[in-house]
Amino acid sequence: MNPVVNHLIQLQELTLIRAEQKIHKHENRVEKLEGAIDDMTGQLTADVRSIFLRLQRRSPIVIVPVSNGICSGCGLKLPISLVQEVRQAPGLTHCPTCTRILYTPYEPVRRLHEAPNRIKPAKPGISRFSSPSLMIPRLSGSKRNEVIRELTDAMHANGFVDNSDKLYEEALRRETIMSTAVDHGLAFPHVRGIEGGALTLAMGMSSEGIPFDEDNKTLTHLVFFIVIPTAANAFYLKLLAGLTDVLRKAENREKLMAEEEPEKLWKTLIKVTRPAVS
């Protein structure tokens, strides 16, 4: 991959993680990220930095993957010649419609268009992008990596993604940048750029608690694993804010932890998040 493109992908990821940490009100993490973002931005050449900052003023998503010949930022079907240009990566190539920078990902995980076991309720909120088959009331893992493996395997086994191994690797890579564990025993591991369908959420619980973050003294009890298509990044941040707000309340966490069956857990999750997730 073009090293400049790789640099921009990493820089964009840091800016999105900063947005997540602002939602969780982790000022110390935000400050740390600000320094890293400033440093990476300063390493860009003047012309590339100008392009990046100009695009970022319009949208936090500046650089997007080409998926099946389509710009994942705006959905435009790209000319074959342009797709080939992106693959050759001689420089920065832009989408002719949204002007975002394009790149070709290596061995991407894809979100399957139709999941064979997916239940499609008409209700709004969490039910639009979750399923009873993705609810694990009692996680068997006792460590962070084991739990993430359970959730990625559940997505693959139930037909939501096509490559659980790659999804697992990407989820761990995200954790190495900054832990997704937050206050109140919550964690939100996730992977961006999973094209081919909508945002999807799996959930697992541990009554004993999981040491998700070595720096976090509070054990994690509720784990939400989310795969995020590029076009859904803005919605993901709204979803994260809604879930965080709802689950700050102990009574809502207790309602979830009381459930022992996937179907009942799913229905309770829909109910407690309804006020915040539209």
Instruction: Give the domain CATH number at 171.
Output: 3.40.930.10
89 and 216, same domain (yes or no) = no
Percentage with pLDDT > 70 across the chain: 93
Do 140 and 229 fall into the same domain? yes
Q: Does 133 lie in the same domain as 69?
A: no
Regarding whether 54 and 16 lie in a shared domain, the answer is yes
pLDDT band at residue 277 using 50, 70 and 90 as cut-offs: confident
Q: Does residue 71 lie in a domain region?
A: yes
Residue 215: pLDDT over 70: no
User: What crossing angle do the helices spanning 250-257 and 233-247 adopt, rounded to 10°?
Assistant: 100
Q: Using DSSP bridges, classify how beta strands 70-71 and 190-192 pair: parallel, antiparallel or unpaired.
A: unpaired
Query: pLDDT tens, 16-41?
Result: 999 999 999 989 999 999 999 999 99
Which residues make Cβ contacts (< 8 Å) with residue 251, sequence separation at least 6?
none
Domain membership flag for residue 120: no
Residue 198's pLDDT is: 82
The verdict on 95 and 166 lying in the same domain is: no
Instruction: Give the residue ranges of DSSP H helices in 24-79.
Output: 27-42, 46-58
253 lies in a domain? yes
pTM, rounded to two decimals: 0.89
What sign for the dihedral angle of Cα 119, 227, 193, 112?
Answer: negative
Residue 24 lies in a domain: yes
Residue 235 located in a structural domain: yes
- Whether 69 and 38 share a structural domain: yes
Amino acid at 223: V
Residue indicated by tokens 């209700």: 123
**Mean of the pLDDT values across residues 196-206?**
91
Let me know whether 99 and 142 are in one domain: no
What's the average model confidence in pLDDT over 192-211?
91
Dig out the tokens for 151 from the structure.
């959730």
Both 163 and 225 in one domain: the answer is: yes
The alpha carbons of the chain give a radius of gyration, in whole angstroms, of: 19
Question: Per-residue pLDDT averaged across 240-268, rounded?
Answer: 95
Q: pLDDT band at 117, cuts 50/70/90?
A: very low
Verify that 262 and 143 share a domain, yes or no: yes
In the chain, % of residues over pLDDT 90: 76
| Nearest of 190, 185, 226, 222 to residue 204 by alpha carbon | 222
Residues 26 and 132 in one domain: no
129 and 94 within one domain: no
Pairing between β-strand 93-94 and β-strand 101-103 as defined by DSSP bridges: antiparallel
- What digits encode the pLDDT tens for the residues 43-93? 999 999 999 999 999 999 999 999 889 999 999 999 999 999 998 877 899
- Asked whether residue 150 is domain-assigned, the answer is yes
Task: Single out the residue of 54, 64, 48, 44 nearest to residue 234, CA to CA.
Answer: 64
Print the domain residue range for 75: 3-103
Number of domains in the chain: 2
pLDDT recorded at residue 179: 92
Last residue of a domain, one of 48, 69, 103: 103
Q: Give the pLDDT band of residue 124 (cuts 50, 70, 90).
A: low
Same domain, 42 and 131: no
Comparing 104-113, 180-189, 224-233, the range with the smallest average pLDDT is: 104-113
Domain boundary among 68, 103, 138: 103
Q: Rounded to whole angstroms, how far apart are CA atoms 107 and 167?
A: 11
The answer to whether position 155 is within a domain reads yes
